[in-house]
Amino acid sequence: MSTKTANQEHCASGVIAAASWRIRSATVLPDYRLSVTCNDGTTGLVDLSQLIFSENPGIFDALKDEQYFNQVRIEMGALTWSNGADLNPAWLHDEIEKNGTWCIPV
């Protein structure tokens, strides 16, 4: 099992990532899951397995490759991948705050 942590490293000059829903860090976990921490300290799990292996994953199909999935990064407070796939950080924050986990409905 390998884990990787992404932190907000690249931020546009003069932009302050202050909104509570911005992702501060993410750690890759097994089974297409991420452990995330938001700016306000909210922490939880993001489970992308159902979306990635759904009948029509769209842009998230590339994430089936675990090495590619592990290349998650944080841009402007959102979880992103180099193919343009990203996750809505406000929705993610709200669901984690309510449930402790976010599993994208398919």
37-82 per-position pLDDT tens digit: 999 999 999 999 999 999 999 999 999 999 999 999 999 999 999 9
Phi then psi for residue 29, to 5 deg, are -120, 165
Q: Give the number of other CB atoms < 10 A from CB of residue 59.
A: 11
β-bridge partners, 86 = 80
Token look-up 């000059």 returns: 13
Mapped onto helix, strand or coil, the DSSP state of residue 79 is strand
For residues 89 and 44, is the Cβ–Cβ distance under 8 A? no
Reported as a pLDDT band with limits 50, 70 and 90, residue 21 is confident
Phi then psi for residue 43, to 5 deg, are -130, 155
Reported as a pLDDT band with limits 50, 70 and 90, residue 20 is confident
Domain positions in the chain are 5-103
CATH topology of domain 5-103: NE0471 N-terminal domain-like (3.30.2020)
pLDDT for the residue 13:
52
